[in-house]
Structure formats: C-alpha cells, structure tokens
Amino acid sequence: MRTSIGIATLALAFVPVIESTVTDDELRSTLVERVLAVQRADPGSAAFDDLEQKIAGLGLAALPDAFDVLARRIPLATDGAPPIALDGAGEGALYAALRTWPRSEVEAWIRARALETDALDDRLGALRILGRIGAESTLVALGDVLASIPPAEIRHPAAQQAIEASLGALLERDAAALGSFDALVERVDRGALPAIARVLAASNDWRALLLLESLLGDDVALDIEILSAIGNDRMRDRAALERAREWARLRFQVVDPALRRQATITAGQLLDAQSVPQLIDALEKDSDPRVQRSAHWALREITGLGWGPEAERWRSWFERESAWFEDDAPVLIEGLADDARVVQLLRELAAHDLFRDALAEQLAELVDHEDALIARAAIGAHVGLASSFSVEPLIDALGRESRPGIRAALANALAHLTGETLGPDSARWDDWLDTAY
C-alpha cells in the first residue's frame, strides 16, 4: 500500500484514542486506515476534530491517500471483521483538511490524477471531491475531468449522480459559479446535460432558468429531463413560473408522445390553469393512452377535482368556471369594498381556485385591512387559493404588519404555501425569497 510522509506520526497520535478497541492489524500505515480506525473506536465523536487538524498538518503529502479514501471510498477489511465504510464524520474531517491546503495545487493534482487513469471510479471520485472543495475557478478542472469521460460512460447512472453531486455542492459553496456554467455546457458531452439540467433547475436562479431555456428544443430526451426537473422545483417568482408553464404548454402538440406526456405532467405539477383547455383536448383526443392518463392526472392536480376521465364533463365544468370568472368574479371583487359583505365574498372567491393566480393578485391588498376579521379572512382566502402568487404579497404584508395576531396568521399562511417554517420574522422570509428565481 502507498505510505504518505507523516502518516506514522498520525498513527502514533491516535493510539491513545483507539488502543482499546482496534487491533494491531488495523494499525497499518495509511490514511484510510487511520480515519477508519478512529471511526471504529468512537464513531461520530470529537476525535474527528483532532483528526482533521492532524490530517491538515500533514499537508499535500497526504493528498494521494485522501484521494483514495474519498474517491474510491475504500472500506477497511480485517481478518474476522466486516468491512467498515467511511461515515459522514470521517468524510467531513477529510474534506475539511483538504480545504486547508492550497486549492489550486489540490485541484491541479486531482485533475491530473483523473486524466491519467482510465478508471471511471477515479474520475467520478475526482468530480465529487472537486465539487466539495472548489469554487467558480474549479469549473475549469471539473470541465476537463467531465470531458475525459467517454460518452458511453457519462450516461451511466453513477456518472449522472456524481455530476449532480459535484456541481450541486459547488453551487452551494459558491453561487457565483453559475455565471460560468454556459462555458461548461459548451464543452461537455451531451450525455452530461441531463445531470447539469437537474442541478440548474434546483439552483433557484434566473441565470439557470435562461440557460435551461437555451438547451430546449434540440433533443427530445433532454427536453423531457428539463421539463421533469422544473416540474419538481418549487418556483417562487411569478415571471419564472409563467415562463416554465409556457415551456410545457408549447410541447403539448409535439410529435414525440413521451415529451407530450412529460409536458402534461409538468403542467400539472406547476398548477397551470391556462393549460386546462389543452389538457382536456389531450384527454379526449391524444393518440397515446399514456398522454391521456397524464392529462387526466394533471387536470385533477390543477383543479383539485377527483373526476374520472370523461372529457365532456371536464369541458362543461371549465366553460362554467370561465363564464363565472368573466361575468361574476369582477362583481364580487368590486363588492369587497363593502366591509359588511367582504368575509362572505372572500369565501366565495376562494371556492373558485381554478383562477387562483389572478384572484390572488386581486386579494393582495386586503391582508392589510384595518379590520382584523377582514384581514384574517383575506389571509385564509390566500391559503385556500394555494397560489404561489400569494407568497410575495404576504411577505410584504408581514414586513408592514404590527398586530401580533395578524403577523402570526401571515406566518402560518406562508408556512402552508411554501412548506417553510420561518416564523413571523419578515427579514427571514425576505432572505428566503432572495434565494429564489
């Protein structure tokens, strides 16, 4: 096995910690075994803090062993004992130590190691490590490693997972790196793009949305991946949400049935009321039964109705709802100025949630009403409508509101709409919103 300079010192330093529980056979002189020996002796303990300092003190001489344990995730197997995998604390100690060394030198060594080998595991391990320790400048080395992976291997699930883990960790450490993703996309094999698209969709950044848009239209399989990724994301910005909804609607009539199916699923996930007439048409007329089923699922998601796949029933209902929104809703909204009737009118409006986004905009000002009963009813209507368009007005209202009870109601409504539990502190909600599209 490879022996690094200073490893013996590290082993001696840890004998007091592990001497009662680790055999002599486990005290061989590699970094892998030092980490795992501490882990076996006292897993998850403060011993890893000391381990981190000692590994960091070894300097770049320990990098080959650190790479082996992090890239290959080598288990320690001894006679009569099951292998021990590196746990989170041990892995964290190694990564923390690596970040104390000169990053440019660490990146250069890992890049060279990945490029000189034909072993896919080493290349994928290099991707994961670079993502965990790097910043925007690391994208060049990451691109070199990605470009070295043969097209036949880059589509392998393990490769896709490594790309996602690497780029996701990098963006978490340095969001500015997103500005260089366009150059990365230009140089990698197209087989890497599905994983990159999933990372972009999860980043909650407008630059990512624009880059995703630039990737649409050239490849059916990639379009499906992008639509799937944005459907699983929780967009908070109105303009971003509308753009994503439009991407799905534009693909309802494409030739490929798999893409049509994904488009209808994404429309349902994004609660796109504008797509309802097209979804009804797909339910009735699409030539592929899978698309008909997904259109039916999307209609149920968007409307909250549990009806079966009878297209005529859905169409009649949609026509009635459209007539109500055009003829009756304006009268009800105008009536909101009458304080005596406002609570009743809010309940009626909230019952027509097909047009949730438009109604949410109309009700935004009422959450500030001086009458606490009306303000609470308006907040409740926003919850009932379940529109993402309600989120920003409710956060703004929370910043202005001084009444404790109304502040609590606003915080509860935001928690219901977003799944976040940030309490009545408007600054925390503002910070959360700033991380969105």
Write down the domain spans for the chain: 7-98, 104-215, 325-434
- The percent of residues above 90 in pLDDT, for the chain, comes to 46
- pLDDT (tens digit per residue) in 271-322: 999 999 999 999 999 999 999 999 999 999 999 899 999 999 999 999 999 9
pTM: 0.75
Three-state secondary structure along the chain? CCCCCCHHHHHHHHHHHHCCCCCHHHCCCCHHHHHHHHHHHCCCCCHHHHHHHHHHHHHHHHHHHHHHHHHCCCCECCCCCCCECCCHHHHHHHHHHHCCCCHHHHHHHHHHHHHCCCCHHHHHHHHHHHHHHCCCCHHHHHHHHHHHCCHHHHCCHHHHHHHHHHHHHHHHHCHHHHHHHHHHHHHCCHHHHHHHHHHHHHCCCHHHHHHHHHHCCCCHHHHHHHHHHHHCCCCCCHHHHHHHHHHHHCCCCCCCHHHHHHHHHHHHHCCCHHHHHHHHHHHHHCCCHHHHHHHHHHHHHHHCCCCCCCHHHHHHHHHHHHHHHHHHHHHHHHHCCCCCCHHHHHHHHHCCHHHHHHHHHHHHHHHHCCCHHHHHHHHHHHHHHCCHHHHHHHHHHHHHCCCHHHHHHHHHHHHHHHCCCCCCCHHHHHHHHHCCC
- Give the model's pLDDT for residue 14: 33
> Where residue 18 falls among pLDDT bands split at 50, 70, 90?
very low
Between 394 and 43, whose confidence is greater? 394
The predicted structure's pLDDT at residue 77: 45
Is the pLDDT confidence value at 10 over 60? no
Q: Is the pLDDT of residue 30 over 60?
A: no
Instruction: List, for residues 104-150, the tens digit of each pLDDT value.
Output: 999 999 999 999 988 888 899 999 999 998 888 889 999 999 999 99
Q: How confident is the model at residue 1 (pLDDT cuts 50, 70, 90)?
A: very low
Q: How confident is the model at residue 13 (pLDDT cuts 50, 70, 90)?
A: very low
In this predicted model, which residue has the larger pLDDT, 38 or 137?
Answer: 137
* Mean pLDDT (whole number) for 379-407: 91
For the chain, give the mean pLDDT: 82
In this prediction, what percent of the chain has a pLDDT beyond 70? Answer: 82
Q: Look at residue 340 in the predicted model and tell me its pLDDT.
A: 76
Question: In the prediction, which pLDDT does 226 show?
Answer: 93
The pLDDT of residue 406 is 94
Q: What is the pLDDT of residue 27?
A: 29
